[in-house]
Structure 1
Amino acid sequence: MSDRNVLGDELQPCGTDPLTGFHRDGCCRTDDDDLGNHSVCAVVTAEFLAHQQTVGNDLVSARPEFDFEGLAPGDRWCVCADRWLQSFDAGAAPPVVLASTHERATEVIPLETLQRHSVDVPADPRGLA
């Protein structure tokens, strides 16, 4: 059985540069081993990254021991559903790619909230300059 997104369709990849996902396969797949529920495909913003640093979740600094280079605004990243909601409550939620957001995100975040923050992102956003 394939993983489903919040729209009920097959889950689409979130990002490979940097390589994201709990399983580091580019998708926001989640399972019982993923205690953080890394299910929300977010296009991270400077505001989101700054907010997460203030609450002790440093997503900017490199962590080589976890093969993590750190994030920059514009990166697509599988964010923990509760961390996304935490930023939403603080007014700093990043946009969400619904086709790449796992259906389990709705266990924490109402679908309507995700839809209000949805964005379509092309596979290669460099052409949007």
Structure 2
Amino acid sequence: MPKTQFVFEEVNVLGEFLEPCSLDPLTGFKRNGTCQVTPDNQGMHAVCIYASKEFLEYSKRTGNDLSTPMPQYNFPGVKPGQSWCLSGLRFAQAVKDGNAPQIFIHATHQAILQLVDLETLKKLAIDL
């Protein structure tokens, strides 16, 4: 299987400047508030999601517990109603399972287009 080539520019899926996802809680692989994808971000934390109670429960059931605080990692846990940068692979799986969360498309990095098409992302967007 060929290696995926990530695009590291701070551009969203619409080809525009990547907007912040969340400053409280501080999200992103680099904890800079954006879903920026960098060479060291192996999980491609590219999708800015709206964390509903239902999605957080689904995520926990499928092995990605986003809601439990982990103070040892300075992670407060994501609460319903907050936004969070989600791993591209986790997001693609949620789409496949029919459990995809709503997203903030202007804060979603273009790298996710390697896993999920733009039309699907637009259908899930709450900021279009």
Give me the TM-score of the superposition, normalised by structure 1. 0.89
Matched, 1:101 2:73: no
Residue of structure 1 equivalent to 2:62: 55
Which residues of structure 2 form unaligned runs of 5+?
1-7
Which runs of structure 1 show a deviation greater than 3 angstroms over 4 or more consecutive aligned residues? none
1:74-89 equivalent positions in 2, closer than 5 A: 74-89=81-96
8 Å contact from structure 1 (residues 2, 10) kept in 2: no
**What is the DSSP-based 3-state SS (H/G/I as helix, E as strand, rest coil) of the residue aligned with 2:45?**
coil
Q: CA RMSD in A?
A: 1.5
Measured at CA, do residues 2 and 35 of structure 1 come closer, stay the same or move farther in structure 2, by a change above 3 Å? closer
Query: Which of 39, 55, 66 lines up with 2:73 in the alignment?
Result: 66
Distance, in Å, in 2 between the alignment partners of 1:47 and 1:23 is: 26
TM-fit CA distance, 1:120: 1.7
Identity of aligned residues (%): 39
Which letter does structure 1 place at the counterpart of 2:124?
H
CA drift at 1:91 = 2.0
Deviation of residue 66 (structure 1)? 1.1
Partner of 2:11: 4
- Unpaired runs of at least 5, structure 1: 122-129
Structure 1 residue 2 displacement after superposition: 5.1
- SS of the counterpart of 1:109? coil
Change (3 A) 1:2 1:57: closer
Q: Which residue of 2 aligns with 1:23?
A: 30
> Matches of 1:105 and 1:16 in 2, distance apart?
21
- What is the rounded CA distance, in whole Å, between the counterparts of 2:24 and 2:117 in structure 1? 28
Deviation at 1:4, TM superposition (A): 0.5
Greater Cα offset, 97-106 or 1-10: 1-10
